[in-house]
Structure 1
Amino acid sequence: MLLRVEDLTKSYPGAEGPVEVLRGVDLQLDAGETLALTGESGSGKSTLLHLVGGLDVADGGRIEIAGRDVTAMGDTARAALRRETVGVIFQQFNLIPSLPVSANISFQARLAGRADDAHIAQLAQALGLGAQLDKYPEQLSGGQQQRVAIARTLAARPQLVLADEPTGNLDEATATDVLDQLLRLVTDTGAALMMVTHSPTLAARMSRRLHLKQGRLA
């Protein structure tokens, strides 16, 4: 088992007191498995993803990734986890505008000490970016920028990939193509994938689907 979440809770301050976002969430994910996380806006999907990725801190419960207790980690350890074990793909591409595509793709891998030029070239080719490596993000289409973001995450060879509406800014045809590439590359590397999505079509492509409603999984 790669990911185990037990009785996870999270709330945020509100005008009339704390607002409960997650109310005792439990889930498990094995290496090589793909999971779609669905639910209405405000149901806690992104919050759960951010907690698993160590981008936020839970109020209670436990998150374990590859045998390590994320909920017991400080900021430095969580940052190391994101460099070495967990890759996050956001809806906003978060590319570095001053770097060409090749350097954007290799950025996280270099931070993790795993820069592999052959692997990076293979990813770029697989995602249709072979002719774009010397360009800058502003010179790319939205679909191309999303492909760069995916390549950047996978170049570091994470064991767990977390994707928050990774095709939300793309048209349907481009979204389908990008997801095809993401699923194939995740399968090739043996990573697990947990993806937040509003799309029933995209969710149906995952090996499992879970639905968040009022802070609980169904």
Structure 2
Amino acid sequence: MVLTVQDVTKSYSGADGDVPVLRGVSLSLDRGETLALTGESGSGKSTLLHLIGGLDTVDAGSIFIGGREITTLRDTDRAALRRSDVGVIFQQFNLIPSLTVQANIAFQARLAGTFDADHTARLSQALGLTDHSSKYPEALSGGQQQRVAIARTLAARPKLVLADEPTGNLDESTAADVLDQMLALVRETGAALLMVTHSQTVARRMGRHVHLSQGHVV
């Protein structure tokens, strides 16, 4: 399994004490699989994604990526894991304004030591970014910036791709186009994909679907 989540719980401190967000969540994802994670606001979707990505720590339970338990790792080791095995696509794009499209796409792969010029060029071409390679993010549309964020993540060849509402800021037509390209590229690279989404249309495009409600998988 690329990803195994076992009985994970997470709470945050509130004015009236601890507020439970996740209550014993378990799921798994294998190489080449795609999984939609849905749920109402506050159900714990983004929290779970952040825990899997090593951006936060669990209260209890275990998370394994490629057979390695990440819940016992130090911050620096979790950061190293994100560089090598886990790619995260945020809704806000998080591109580096001072870098060109080409440099943004290569950035993560260079950090991970997995940069492959041919692979990066193929990603750029597949996502329609070749003609924009020398531009800076401010010169791109929202859809183009999202394509750059997707290409940057896949350029590092992660085993697991985590996507938090990656098409949420896009119009319907652009969102459908970006999703088509993203799923095709994930299939090509053999990565596992876990996508948080509010869209049932997007969820239906994924191989599997998990719904969170009040911190539980239902």
What is the CA distance between 1:2 and its match in structure 2? 1.0
Instruction: Determine the structure 1 residue equivalent to 2:45.
Output: 45
TM-score, normalised via structure 1 length: 1.00
What is the CA distance between 1:41 and its match in structure 2? 0.5
Cα deviation, 1:138-185, whole Å, max 9, x if unaligned, reads: 000000000000000000000000000000100010000000000000
- Give the fraction of aligned pairs with identical amino acids, expressed as a percent: 72
AA aligned to 1:169 is N
TM-score, normalised via structure 2 length: 1.00
| Aligned-partner Cα distance in 1 for 2:119–2:30 | 24
| Aligned-partner Cα distance in 2 for 1:208–1:97 | 35
AA aligned to 1:124 is S
Instruction: Determine the structure 2 residue equivalent to 1:31.
Output: 31
| Aligned-partner Cα distance in 2 for 1:109–1:28 | 26
Q: Give unpaired runs (5+ residues) of structure 2.
A: none
Instruction: Determine the structure 1 residue equivalent to 2:176.
Output: 176
| Aligned-partner Cα distance in 1 for 2:15–2:171 | 37
Q: CA-atom RMSD, angstroms? A: 0.4
How do 1:1-218 and structure 2 match up within 5 A? Answer: 1-218=1-218
What is the CA distance between 1:65 and its match in structure 2? 0.5
**Secondary structure of the corresponding residue to residue 63 of structure 1:** strand
AA aligned to 2:15 is A
AA aligned to 2:158 is P
| Aligned-partner Cα distance in 2 for 1:74–1:177 | 38
AA aligned to 2:95 is L
What is the CA distance between 1:133 and its match in structure 2? 0.2
Q: Give unpaired runs (5+ residues) of structure 1.
A: none
**Secondary structure of the corresponding residue to residue 13 of structure 1:** strand
| Aligned-partner Cα distance in 2 for 1:202–1:176 | 8
What is the CA distance between 1:74 and its match in structure 2? 0.5
| Structure 1 consecutive aligned stretches of length 4 or more whose deviation exceeds 4 Å | none
